Amino acid sequence: MPPGVVTREILCKSALTRTKITGFQYCINPYTGCAHACLYCYASFMCRFTDHREKWGRFLDVKINFCEALARQLYGRTRPEGRVLVGTVTDAYQPAESVYKLTRASLEMLADYQLLDVHILTKSALVQRDIPILRRLRSCQVGFTITTVDSGIARVIEPGASAPSLRFEAARELIKAGIPVWVFVAPLLPGLTDTEESLTSLLKAVYQAGIRKVHMDNLNPYPAVVRRLKSAYRRYFSGAFKELESCLYYPELYRNRTESRFRRICQLTGLS
């Protein structure tokens, strides 16, 4: 477990949760909190639903009865069907998963169940551990959130996540195993990961890894996210601070400009 992360074991009432995310009926989150500690993470709002005093990225609740709860829901009176997204407010493959294996056990149950299509979104190379199980699922796709190929930037903005190079290696292994892979470039960070040079390098790496489908999202300026980013920009990326402020003051103008740039570079690199 990462040093400095307060970890506790808790009980949950349910495992399969209804979601309003477009295209999905359910989501699965075996953990509360996330040791990846990404500065831009929208899921930090989960802090207010816990009694932790630690900052986001510094606490983790492990739902030790998660698989029992999942079994009750899968084999109850109604049999859930549709599509389930694994990891919507936590990363199901964060470091604790190598110890607790809740995600792995859940996927094994879903592989036996065969009534749900499974989609996984992660920043961790650990997902490749479960390739044999993923191949047994009725349908499975894996998305990797990759914001930059610059390891220096990545170490600051997503300090607990697998290095971008390791995510690409894991993606290649999944593709070799016949599992569809896509990349989520999110969020674009003003002056850091949204530049012509940064996006071109990233999207070329995506294409060279054998991935053909990408999604992107701009920064969601939640107050806690803005506070964390401003602090990091002042300390590590002072030269880009004005770009961050411009994005916050003129969000629509910024969004139009970056989305146009992203689409243009995707077309140049052969990505959809």
Q: Tens digit of pLDDT for each residue in 50-60?
A: 676 778 889 99
Residues of the chain with pLDDT under 50: none
Residue 173 resides in a domain: yes
- Helices and strands, counts by H and E, the chain: 10, 10
Task: Quote the pLDDT of residue 1.
Answer: 60
Which of these, 191, 200, 186, 195, lies nearest to 236 by C-alpha position?
A: 191
Report the CATH number at residue 237.
3.20.20.70
Q: Which amino acid is at 235?
A: R
Q: Which residues contact 186 (CB under 8 A, 6 or more apart)?
A: 145, 147, 215, 216, 217
Residue 60 resides in a domain: yes
Residue 194 resides in a domain: yes
Task: Quote the pLDDT of residue 55.
Answer: 83
**CB contact at 8 A, 104 and 45:** no
Task: Quote the pLDDT of residue 46.
Answer: 62
Question: 0.75 exceeded by the pTM?
Answer: yes
Give per-residue pLDDT as tens, 165-193.
999 999 999 999 999 999 999 999 999 99
Task: Quote the pLDDT of residue 4.
Answer: 83
Residue 152 resides in a domain: yes
Residue 1 resides in a domain: no
How many independent structural domains does the chain possess?
A: 1
Task: Quote the pLDDT of residue 242.
Answer: 97
The residue segments making up the domain with residue 224 are: 6-269
Task: Quote the pLDDT of residue 56.
Answer: 80
Residue 166 resides in a domain: yes
